């Protein structure tokens, strides 16, 4: 058997070379495997992200503040990135109900903002908004009849 530099035989040199080559291949395989795991993890995160359902976009909550003092006093505020917003505050009412006042807003189809302010207490729910329908004005002849009846009532005129 041939003995080369530093007392190694050809077989020994082949064994060392084979070991180095095997180590290099194993290192490349582990690098490739690590990359594959990273890509798989990123794909899993992308699949797990919120997806639109039924063609509707995902709505993000921008604000969600809530305070409940435990004594009947509370307030909350909520706002979403699609323009919906709600704010309300409440106090205990004399008859055990919650008296509330607040406002809610949303975007109309034409892009304008709809806003409704309200009070809810022992006198009921009273909303205020330019969007709410109002009764038609009374015709002039009806207004005249009402005025005439009020004059007669003030004079003490009664009808049986």
Q: 127: closest CA among 139, 138, 115?
A: 115
**Chain segment 86-131, per-residue pLDDT in tens:** 999 999 988 888 899 999 999 999 999 999 999 999 889 999 999 8
**pLDDT at residue 28, rounded to an integer:** 53
Alpha-carbon radius of gyration of the chain: 40
pTM value is 0.52
The conformational region for residue 77 under phi > 0 = left, psi -120 to 50 = alpha, else beta, is beta
Q: What is the largest CA-CA distance in the chain?
A: 143
- Round to whole Å and give the CA distance between 48 and 24: 36
Residue 25 has pLDDT above 50, yes or no: no
Q: What is the mean pLDDT of the chain?
A: 82
Residue 156 has pLDDT above 80, yes or no: yes
Q: 60: closest CA among 41, 82, 39?
A: 82
**pLDDT at residue 33, rounded to an integer:** 65
The conformational region for residue 48 under phi > 0 = left, psi -120 to 50 = alpha, else beta, is alpha
Tell me the mean pLDDT in the region 27-35: 60
**pLDDT at residue 14, rounded to an integer:** 54
List beta partners, residue 86: 78, 104
**pLDDT at residue 6, rounded to an integer:** 56
**Chain segment 65-78, per-residue pLDDT in tens:** 999 988 989 999 99
């Amino acid at each position: 058997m041939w003995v080369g530099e530093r007392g190694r035989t050809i077989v020994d040199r082949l064994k060392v070379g084979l070991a180095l080559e095997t180590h290099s291949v194993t290192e490349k395989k582990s690098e490739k495997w690590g990359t594959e795991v990273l890509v798989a993890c990123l794909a899993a995160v992308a699949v797990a992200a919120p997806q639109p359902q039924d063609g509707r976009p995902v709505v993000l909550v921008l604000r969600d503040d809530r305070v409940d003092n435990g004594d009947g006093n509370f307030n909350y505020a909520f706002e979403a990135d699609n323009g919906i917003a709600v704010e309300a505050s409440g106090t205990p009412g004399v008859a055990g109900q919650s008296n509330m006042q607040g406002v809610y807003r949303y975007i109309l189809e034409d892009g304008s903002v709809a806003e409704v302010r309200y009070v809810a207490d022992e006198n009921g729910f009273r909303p205020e908004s330019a969007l709410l329908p109002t009764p038609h004005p009374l015709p002039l002849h009806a207004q005249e009849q009402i005025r005439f009846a009020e004059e007669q009532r003030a004079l003490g005129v009664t009808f049986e």
